[in-house]
Amino acid sequence: MLHDAVAANIRRSWLMLFLFAVLVGLVAWAFTYLLEMGTPGVVLAVAVALTAAWGSYFYSDRLVLAMTGARPARKDEFPYLVNITEALAIGAGIPQPRLYVVEDDCPNAFATGRDPRHGVVAVTTGLLGKLNRAELEGVVAHEIAHISNRDMLVATLAVTMVGIVALLGDWGTRSMLYGRRGRRSGRGQGGILVLLALLLAVVAPLAAQLLRFAVSRQREYLADASAALLTRYPRGLADALRKIAADPRPLRGAGPATAHLYIHNPLANRRGQSDLFSTHPPVEERIRRLESMG
């Protein structure tokens, strides 16, 4: 049953990425049609976005670690954490990820790295001080699951598609505002297509963000299920999530660009985000699913 749930989550994630690709194609068509600029401008916009995504993919771990102020976790300083991570990595069949610690009282953790050979797990000092061994194992297993499931690839592709849609939208809007309005007729079938293209240009950026949020939520459910399978004790992660969510302290190094990486949305309390616009599913639902696993 658990394997079926994991497989279903993977299928849904890749389906959403396919929808991203379709959305990018529709946006490209919309602005090409409205502005009668042909394909070179669209190709250039997509190429720029893909180049930026390539750089962020290969150097994402360095960027995230620098942004969060994480430092390497030495075994002589954090033997408890290192031993747990070593055992779970062996159980997951992946190389031991590099371990980092963020000096912050807020309990949280994240994973990054483009594949299992470049995996990184980082935890806050607040997490180490607040969780017991079973809870810490659940959190580390969750982050290792992100790495072994290659969630970073899915997340990077999703962000890439959002970037392309945003770039195309900005480029097309500026072109229409500053004189390049196109010469499409407002009558008959042409008028209908113009209205459809304009509607798509307005709605596409919001739709892209909602798809990204949906992909992130599915990744969290998948990592929760995989962590429960790895530790054989889903209640450990459930109890950890309950403690993390109940802590009111803000995470100083977190921002919108990195919030989706954390096990619990670090901006939830600070910004009062609604569930619709959160990169994470409701923590109550995550806890309920874990506890139902026994």
Catalogue the active-site residues: 143
79-92 and 133-148 helices, crossing angle to 10°: 50
- At 34, the amino acid letter reads L
73-79 long-range contacts, Cβ below 8 Å, gap at least 24?
73/99, 73/100, 73/101, 73/123, 78/128
Strand 120-124 with 98-102, pairing: parallel
> What is the C-alpha to C-alpha distance for residues 111 and 139, in angstroms, rounded to an integer?
11
> What is the C-alpha to C-alpha distance for residues 265 and 251, in angstroms, rounded to an integer?
10
Q: What are phi and psi of 158, to 5 degrees?
A: -65, -45
Torsion, Cα 260 263 266 268, to 10 degrees, reads 90
DSSP 94: S
> What is the C-alpha to C-alpha distance for residues 18 and 16, in angstroms, rounded to an integer?
5
